[in-house]
Amino acid sequence: MEFASDMLNLRHEIDNLRATRAAMMNGLSLFNCELKESMARKMSEMRHMFAEESARASTARHAFKRRHRQMVGRMIASFGSERYAARCNFMGKSA
């Protein structure tokens, strides 16, 4: 009778372990779904933040380029007028 009792106890343990394993697998499946949703949400937020930062950088880059061109243009105009004045002084003409 002990063998039958041991086999019955073993069968109960196996059934309990199967139930525990099924519950664990279900929990892991739910965790996986939540993790995927969370990662998708975070990736969406990161893409949005990247797009905003990219737009700010583009605006700043264009503003820098515009200021740089204006500065260089003013410097070229200044050098041109100084060269004209120097040439006039060298040639003895009034500037």
pLDDT score recorded for residue 91 = 81
State in Å, rounded, how far the first CA of the chain is from the last one: 127
Q: At 18, is the pLDDT very low, low, confident or very high (cuts 50, 70, 90)?
A: very high
Summarised one tens digit per residue, pLDDT across range 44-84 is 999 999 999 999 999 999 999 999 999 999 999 999 888 88
Residue 6 three-state SS: helix
Is the model's pTM score more than 0.75?
A: no
Per-residue tokens: 82: 């100084």
Q: CA 48 to CA 27: how far, in whole Å? A: 32
Check: CB of residue 74 under 8 Å from CB of residue 80. no
**In the chain, pLDDT over 70 holds for what percent of residues?**
96
pLDDT score recorded for residue 62 = 97
Q: CA 30 to CA 23: how far, in whole Å? A: 11
Check: CB of residue 95 under 8 Å from CB of residue 85. yes
